[in-house]
Amino acid sequence: MNFKEMQDDVLYRLDITNDTTLRTNVKNWLNEAQDEFCNSEDFSFMEELKTYTTTASQENEDLPTDFSKVHSVWQEESPATLEYENPHRFRRLYPDPTATGKSLIYRLFNDEILFYPIPDDAFSIFMRYYKIPTAMSADGDTGDVPSRWQSALKWYALSIAKDQDDEPQAAERAMLKFDEQVAKAKIYYQRREN
């Protein structure tokens, strides 16, 4: 189902089809619902892979613009999984900030990932990460939530609309349906991945 179809379905359930202000609100609520859904769990459908080709003597690389959080980081030269270290432990474990070699640990700083030891050559470091949900804007956008779970987004938008129409019971029922769909998705992906 695309973004326009989701909007139309919510507006139909509200029995209002030609209110442009309400359509704008529904668009915002559908995107808010997508954010809530995607951020409720580390869903595999939100994973991306980034490959860094290191440069000798350069410790930092930019994080992807859609980066939310790290799943795992590894390099195949050794091979080794790079371990995350917070800044305090990072400096305590490796007091020489100029040491070079095959990277074994990483840390995050602002919008960068830093590797240590500092790479001594060009080699590949891979990062699997969870991305930030991509906002839907064009009518044909389908969003990040797989189609089998998109009805949850509509229930969320409907709940907000009903709440604003001072229909708390209808709002609560719709939000419960959203929560049920999210819970089912969590179980589905947990079983699938184990």
- DSSP 8-state symbol, 76: T
For the chain, which residues make up each domain, given as ranges?
Answer: 3-43+133-193, 46-131
Over residues 55-83, the pLDDT tens digits come to 999 999 999 999 999 999 999 877 789 99
- Angstrom distance (rounded) from CA 146 to CA 45: 8
Instruction: Give the tens place of pLDDT for each residue, 30-51.
Output: 999 999 999 999 999 999 999 9
Residue 148: predicted pLDDT = 96
Q: Helix 168-193 to helix 151-164 angle, to the nearest 10 degrees?
A: 160
Task: Give helix then strand counts, H and E, for the chain.
Answer: 5, 10
Cα–Cα distance measured from residue 30 to residue 22, given in angstroms and rounded to the nearest whole number: 12
